[in-house]
Amino acid sequence: MNHCGVIQRIEGHTIYVSSARQPACSGCRAKSVCITAHGKEQIIEVTDSSGTFHTNEPVLLEGKDSMEHQAVLLAFLIPLALVAATVFIGTSLQWDEGFSALAGLLLLFPYYIILYFFRDAWKKKFVFTIKKINPE
């Protein structure tokens, strides 16, 4: 999982990289493998103590493929399974279909709240490495 981006700011050992598609991406050597969110800006925090990076520098962020799979699982598959299971259980208990669907959707609120409260733990799991892009 690769993102090309531009360093927005550096605070201590934390580098904040904007990964939106920008004019800088057109000249990026890694653009063919870059999977940024089409035009939406994302700020990704990367820890680096090398001191070799500078603000407004184009960089490549690399993450493990397993991170992408875990993100899809957490953001899409588990919520879909929760809603489907709730609707299935609700209809088997002879609830109204509308009520079953509403219950399934309402179940997503605590799920996403739990994800939010554990965001610091997820930051430790979803770690990107940063590399300079060497123009050639």
Domain shared by 27 and 75, yes or no: no
Domain shared by 43 and 92, yes or no: no
Regarding predicted confidence, which is higher, 100 or 27? 100
Domain shared by 12 and 52, yes or no: yes
- Give the tens place of pLDDT for each residue, 51-74: 888 888 888 888 777 777 888 899
Rounded to two decimals, what is the model's pTM?
0.62
Domain shared by 43 and 84, yes or no: no
Range of the domain at 79: 66-122
Instruction: Give the chain's domain count.
Output: 2
% of the chain at pLDDT higher than 90: 32
Average pLDDT in the chain: 82
The confidence band for 37, taking pLDDT boundaries of 50, 70 and 90, is: very low
pLDDT for residue 71? 83
Domain shared by 71 and 118, yes or no: yes
Domain shared by 8 and 24, yes or no: yes
Among 103, 6, 95, 22, which Cα is nearest to 55's?
Answer: 6
Interhelix angle 97-106/78-92, rounded to 10 degrees, is 150
pLDDT for residue 119? 86
Q: How far apart are CA 100 and CA 91, in angstroms?
A: 7
- Give the tens place of pLDDT for each residue, 74-88: 989 999 999 999 999
Regarding predicted confidence, which is higher, 84 or 119? 84
